[in-house]
Amino acid sequence: MLLSKNRIIRRRAVVGLLLAASLTLLTLSFRQGSSGLVGEIQRDAVSVTAPFATIAHRVTRPAVDAWNWGSGLASAHDSTEKLKHLQARYGALQVQSQQNADEVARLKALLHFRSTLGETKSVAGQVLEQSPTAYQNTITIDIGTSAGVAVNDPVVAPTEDSGALVGKVVQVTPGQAVVTLLLDPQNYVTAGVQGEPNAVGLIKAASGQVGILSLELIPNAVHVGENDVVTTAGFKTDRLASYYPPGIPIGRVTSVSGNDTTGDTKVIQVTPFADFRNITDVLVLEPKR
Amino acid sequence: MILDGVKIGLCVFVLAILEVAATPQLTPFGGGPDLIIILVVALALWRGMEAAAIAGFAGGLLLDAMTFEHLGMQSLVYVGCAWAIATYANRREAGPGMLEPPPPRALPWLVIGATAAQFGNLVMHVLLGDHPAAGILFWHQIAPAILQTTLLGLLFLPLLRRIFRPSQALSRVPRIATA
């Protein structure tokens, strides 16, 4: 831009004067504070501009209200999202906490059951796999011969207050073992009713009923009532011995009926203590061999 | 000249009132927009250094008075901004075939001016004994103020351009070749 020398000087003079005036006012203001001439000027300026500021405030009030309303909605939306997020997180933590509590309860029960075994040694393991089809009633656990597990060792699982028989080992490798559950039709266990020395028979999977066991070969003369507890009998003779130690809980009697084919024995339905669909931890018992 | 003075006075007054009374309530992040710097930049680009400096001085004085700040503090900053912008924005050379350089773009200079004003205010506060937390000040005052000033500049600069229409654009007049 083409400027004359005088204009340049004038510009510099104006800017210099304004800067000097600003510095002077600033110095006065800093020294005098709200009292004195500078404070008086400020109060006068406020009294002059106050009505206009009020008008501006009132004129822009609807816009301010609209803005606040919009930002309030956005804030409320954000708060809702945060609450939902927290709720989801809390729910996840609650589930995790419940799982931990369940696991602690299971392990406590297992420990308690272990203490009731007396001299019978045991080794704990976890379930690696559960048979994915209904054709098999087996589980695979993460302990094998290297942990002392052998074929036909009984396997128990923790229940709410103790432990319960779930099956026996049928295959074993150094690191894993396959357990056939009581629900398998090929699995028989010598069992008796607690408190009835003569009530000894064989327990196996009930035919036609999923998840129910059947205690058979109990003479009609022996009294067995509902809610009686069925445990392993653990017989032992000179030549033969049961794989299962006596006294391992199996289930509770739910119904007693006569046998239609022989007429001499009872058919007793037993609901197992163990939840076969949800076994996570087991104890493999090592009876004296 | 007188008309320009009246226009500048009115603009200073209206913008200062708006800046103090209206915009602080509309700012979502804290740190309201600096409307006076928009006027200062517009005048520095289209009316020259004197007009911008006078407007900055008056606007700063009014703001300081209305907000009970140290009188003269903002005036000093705005006058400095007016001088800097008017000096450096008009340093472009004329293009080939043009008598004058093309007028500077207003928005980039507004961003520069708003940034300079914010940091100038910070320096003044520090010099006067305030010791604000740098992080809080940046995120709750400086950055939002620059952003909002720039956004409002999109609205106010065209209005101010209509009020303070730049002088005849000689840059579009081709140089006449003489024998």
pLDDT tens by residue, A65-94:
777 677 677 777 777 888 888 888 888 888
- For residue range A174-186, what is the model confidence (pLDDT) as tens digits? 888 888 888 887 7
Q: pTM for the full model?
A: 0.52
User: Is-contact A269 A241, C-beta < 8 A?
Assistant: no
**Residue B132, H or E segment:** none
Residue B43, pLDDT score:
93
Distance CA A194, CA A212 (A): 19
Same domain, A51 and A149: no
- Is there a domain that residue A166 lies in? yes
Report the half-sphere exposure of A72 (CA within 13 A, side-chain side): 6
B140: tokens are 């709750």
Query: How large is the average pLDDT for residues A228-237?
Result: 83
CA distances from B102 to B45, B46, B93, B95 (A): 11, 12, 8, 8
Q: List Cβ neighbours of A103 (8 Å cut-off, separation of 6 or more).
A: A280
Same domain, A159 and A273: yes
Q: Where are the alpha helices (DSSP H) in chain A?
A: 5-32, 36-115
- Is there a domain that residue A130 lies in? yes
Say yes or no for a CB contact (<8 Å) between B50 and A41: no
Residue B168, pLDDT score:
55
Q: Which residue type is seen at A61?
A: R
Per-residue pLDDT of chain B (179 residues; tens, 9 = 90+): 778 889 999 999 999 888 887 776 666 666 788 999 999 999 999 888 999 999 999 999 988 887 777 888 999 999 999 999 999 987 766 666 766 777 788 899 999 999 999 999 888 888 887 776 777 778 878 888 899 899 999 999 999 998 887 665 544 555 555 54
B49: tokens are 């250094």
Residue B25, pLDDT score:
63
Residue B78, pLDDT score:
95
Say yes or no for a CB contact (<8 Å) between A19 and B79: yes
DSSP per-residue letters across A18-68: HHHHHHHHHHHHHHHTTSHHHHHHHHHHHHHHHHHHHHHHHHHHHHHHHHH
Range of the domain at B147: 2-93+101-166
Range of the domain at A49: 5-63
Q: Which residue type is seen at B173?
A: V
- Is there a domain that residue A11 lies in? yes
Could you give the number of structural domains in chain B? 1
Residue B173, pLDDT score:
52
Residue reference for tokens 């931990």: A100
Give, to the nearest 10 degrees, the angle between helix A36-115 and helix B49-67: 70
Interface confidence: ipTM more than 0.90:
no
User: Is-contact A141 A176, C-beta < 8 A?
Assistant: yes
Which residues of chain A neighbour B53 with C-beta distances below 8 Å? 14-15, 18
Same domain, A47 and A150: no
pLDDT of residue A211 exceeding 70, the answer is yes
Same domain, A58 and A130: no
Same domain, A234 and A137: yes
Angle at B42 between CA B23 and CA B89, to 5 degrees: 130
Same domain, A55 and A134: no
Say yes or no for a CB contact (<8 Å) between A22 and B57: yes
Same domain, A130 and A58: no
Same domain, A57 and A136: no
Same domain, A140 and A268: yes
Say yes or no for a CB contact (<8 Å) between B22 and A22: no
Query: How large is the average pLDDT for residues A153-161?
Result: 84
Residue B12, pLDDT score:
93
Could you give the number of structural domains in chain A? 2
Same domain, A16 and A136: no
Same domain, A232 and A133: yes
Residue reference for tokens 């000087």: A9
Which residues of chain A neighbour B17 with C-beta distances below 8 Å? 49, 52-53, 56
Residue B167, pLDDT score:
61
Q: Which of A128-132, A165-169, A206-210, B135-139 has the lowest mean pLDDT?
A: A128-132
- Is there a domain that residue B172 lies in? no
Question: CA of A68: which chain B residue's CA is closest?
Answer: B26
- Is there a domain that residue A282 lies in? yes
CATH number at A132 reads 2.40.10.340
Say yes or no for a CB contact (<8 Å) between A53 and B25: no
Query: Between A22 and A43, where is the model more confident?
Result: A22
Q: Considering CB atoms only, which of A11, A14, A25 is closest to B72? A: A25
Q: Which residues, in sequence order, are bridge partners of residue A268?
A: A215, A256
- Is there a domain that residue A278 lies in? yes
- Is there a domain that residue A205 lies in? yes
Same domain, A155 and A272: yes
- Is there a domain that residue B159 lies in? yes
pLDDT of residue A251 exceeding 60, the answer is yes
**Residue B96, H or E segment:** none
Distance CA B129, CA A60 (A): 35
What part of A 114-143 touches B (C-beta under 8 Å)?
none
CATH number at B66 reads 1.10.1760.20
A234-242 long-range contacts, CB within 8 A, separation 24+: A234/A190, A235/A190, A235/A200, A242/A189, A242/A190
